Structure formats: structure tokens, C-alpha cells
């Protein structure tokens, strides 16, 4: 990569409950656009994102080097990393079901900065209308909007987004993809995504994990063109993408 990456992961190893899940993963995230992290189910994509943001579970341990700019991330507490501009949208949304939409958003406000409600409500007008609704009673798509929205209230240097389209209806998948596309215009995104149509639409770079290591990195379109490669690495042919 010619330009300086926004995030570089070097030799990241994660053990959880005695299992060696990541065994020396290295890759970089470009300072613009969407870098997509791919791999079969259970290969450790979420584990990678969680390690980056400092949320490796207590019975686990992450080693290696992760840098955002000049800053080393591992071993720093999560809330510091997030305040430092690392936004994280977890798998399965994880909105606070017992809190209202407005409260979910309010939680993300920080002292000393003005929350960008205009921006968020422009992207998701729904969130403005449903402020008093309990987040647990939102639809899956709306919850995903909320999960993304509360991260966008603050300025971020990099977004980690884990499977934002999981379990959503095709129409909602397109909506989410559209939003991410607009978000990625201003912030670089490291995206975990199974839906290859979304990958095709958003991703500029791709990193593929296999058996605890990086099996492939490069231009995302190149990867999708090679049917045999995607089939062996992801277990799907890119023919499925067109259907």
C-alpha cells in the first residue's frame, strides 16, 4: 500500500478458553473506503474485531501489535480506544433493549463534544420519529440503524462494523448498504460481511481469513472475479452473488 494505513494489525494471536483461534493475523486497513474482512463461519472474524477494540473475553488473551496511526491499541481499555476515534458496531447490534431509542443515543453523547444528531437523523429519519420506543421492540433493521447511528453521533477515525446485514430482509440489506456507502465517504471502515452482493457494492480492499490466518489480501473486485478462489476460501461461488 502506497499510502499510510489507518490501522495495521501485525501477528495478532488470540486464544480463548485454551483454543488458538487466531494464529498470527496480519493485515492493513486503507485510510479511505471500505476494507472487508471475509472468511467462513466461525473462522474468527468477530474475534479479530473484538481483539482490535479490546473486547477479547476474560478467558481469552490477545497478543501481537495493533496500531491506529502511531498509537498502539492492544492492552488499552476499550473506552479509551473508542474515545480516541475507534467506532465499533458489534455483531447482532447489541442495542440496549430495555432503553428507549433516545436513551440509546444519549448514552453515546460525550462531554466536550456536540453530538451530531443532525447527521444521524438525516441518515436515519426513523430514529428521530421513534425516540420514545423501547429499542427491544424495534425491528432487526431498525435496531441495526440504531447501532450504527449511536456510533455516528461522535467523530470517528475508523469504524469497525460486524455483519450489519445479518438476518435482515433483502430490502433492508440494501438500505443498510446504502447508508454504509455514504458513511464510508468520510470515514474508513473495516467491515465484516457475508453477503457478497454487499461486498461487491462497498468494498475496495479485502482480507480473507482461513484456519486462523490471513489466506488472501488484495483488491476486493479481483477476489470476487475468481470464482474458484472465493469458493475455496469462503465456501461460496461468486455465481451466487449474481442470483
Partner 1 sequence: MNTVVLLTLTGLGLAALYFLVASGLSLVFGLADVLNFAHGLFLGVGAYATWWAAGNLPGAGSDGLGFVVAVLFGVLAGSLVAVLVELVLIRPLYSRTIEQVLVTVGLSLAGVALLQATWGADPRPFPRPDWSRDVTSVLGAQVPNAGLLLIVAAVVVLGALLAFLRWTRYGLIIRAGVENREMVTALGIDVRKAFTLVFAIGGAAAALAGALGGVYFGTVSPGQGGSLLIFAFIVVVIGGMGSVVGSAYAAVAVGLLQQFVNYYGTSGLGDLCVVGLLAVVLLLRPQGLAGKVAHA
Partner 2 sequence: MTEVKSAEVPAPPATVPDELTPGHARWHGLRPYLPLVALVVAAVLPYSTLNLPGVFEGPLNSPGTLQLLAICLVFGGLAAGYDLLFGRTGMLSFGHALYFAAGVYGTDVLITKAGLPLWQAALLTVVGGTTLAALLGAVALRTVGIAFAMVTLAFAQVGAILVARDFGGLTGGEEGLPLDVSGLPAGLVGVTNTVNLYWLALAYLAIVVLVVHRVSGSPTGRVLAGLRDDERRIGVLGLDPYRFKLVAFTLAGGLATAGGVVYVLIVGGASPHITSSELTLSLLVMVVLGGPGTRWGPVLGGVLYMYLDHRLTAFGSSDAVNNLPAFLSHPLSQPLFVLGTVFILAVYFFPGGLASLRTRLTPLLTTLRPRR
Ligand X SMILES: Nc1ncnc2c1ncn2[C@@H]1O[C@H](COP(=O)(O)OP(=O)(O)OP(=O)(O)O)[C@@H](O)[C@H]1O
46 contacts which partner out of partner 2, partner 1, Mg ion, none, CB within 5 to 8 A by kind?
Mg ion
Phi-psi region of 9 (alpha: psi -120 to 50; beta: other; left: phi over 0): beta
Segment lying near Mg ion (by CB under 5 A), choices 89-97, 197-205, 220-228, 234-242: 89-97
In whole angstroms, the minimum distance from the beta carbon of 136 to partner 2 comes to 23
Dist. CA 5–CA 7, nearest whole Å: 5
18 contacts which partner out of partner 2, partner 1, Mg ion, none, CB within 5 to 8 A by kind?
partner 2
108 contacts which partner out of partner 2, ligand X, partner 1, none, CB within 5 to 8 A by kind?
partner 1
> Residue 26 or 78: which CB sits closer to partner 1?
78
Taking residue 213's Cβ as centre, other Cβ atoms within 10 Å add up to 14
Dist. CA 81–CA 62, nearest whole Å: 16
Q: Does the protein bind partner 2 through residue 42 (CB under 8 A)?
A: no
Interface positions, 50-109, toward ligand X (CB under 6 A): 57, 91
Q: Does the protein bind ligand X through residue 227 (CB under 6 A)?
A: no
CA dist list (Å): 44 to 8, 51, 54, 124, 210: 17, 10, 15, 31, 9
Dist. CA 32–CA 219, nearest whole Å: 14
In whole angstroms, the minimum distance from the beta carbon of 131 to partner 1 comes to 14
> Residue 41 or 59: which CB sits closer to partner 2?
59
Contact partners, residue 128, CB within 8 Å, separation at least 6: 121
Binding site for partner 2 (CB under 8 A): 17-18, 59
User: Applying CB under 5 A, which residues contact Mg ion?
Assistant: 46, 91
Amino acid at each position: 500500500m502506497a499510502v499510510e494505513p489507518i490501522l495495521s494489525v501485525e501477528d495478532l494471536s488470540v486464544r480463548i478458553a485454551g483454543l488458538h483461534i487466531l494464529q498470527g493475523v496480519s493485515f492493513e486497513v486503507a485510510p479511505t473506503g471500505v476494507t472487508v474482512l471475509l472468511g467462513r463461519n466461525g473462522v474468527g472474524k468477530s474475534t479479530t474485531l473484538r481483539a482490535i477494540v479490546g473486547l477479547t473475553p476474560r478467558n481469552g488473551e490477545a497478543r501481537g501489535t495493533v496500531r491506529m496511526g502511531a498509537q498502539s491499541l492492544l492492552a488499552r481499555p476499550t473506552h479509551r480506544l473508542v474515545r480516541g476515534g475507534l467506532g465499533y458496531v458489534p455483531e447482532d447490534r447489541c442495542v440496549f433493549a430495555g432503553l428507549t431509542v433516545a436513551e440509546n443515543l444519549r448514552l453515546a453523547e460525550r462531554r466536550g463534544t456536540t453530538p451530531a444528531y443532525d447527521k444521524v437523523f438525516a441518515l436515519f429519519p426513523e430514529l428521530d420519529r421513534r425516540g420514545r420506543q423501547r429499542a427491544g421492540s424495534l425491528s432487526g433493521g431498525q435496531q441495526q440503524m440504531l447501532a450504527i447511528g449511536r456510533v455516528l453521533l461522535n467523530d470517528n477515525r475508523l469504524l469497525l462494523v460486524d455483519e450489519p446485514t445479518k438476518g435482515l430482509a433483502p430490502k433492508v440489506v440494501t438500505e443498510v448498504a446504502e447508508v454504509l456507502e455514504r458513511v464510508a465517504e468520510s470515514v474508513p471502515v473495516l467491515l465484516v460481511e457475508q453477503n457478497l452482493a454487499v461486498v461487491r457494492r462497498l468494498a475496495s480492499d479485502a482480507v480473507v481469513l482461513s484456519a486462523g490466518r490471513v489466506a488472501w489480501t488484495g483488491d476486493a473486485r479481483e477476489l470476487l472475479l475468481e470464482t474458484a478462489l472465493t469458493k475455496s476460501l469462503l465456501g461460496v461461488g461468486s455465481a451466487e452473488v449474481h442470483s
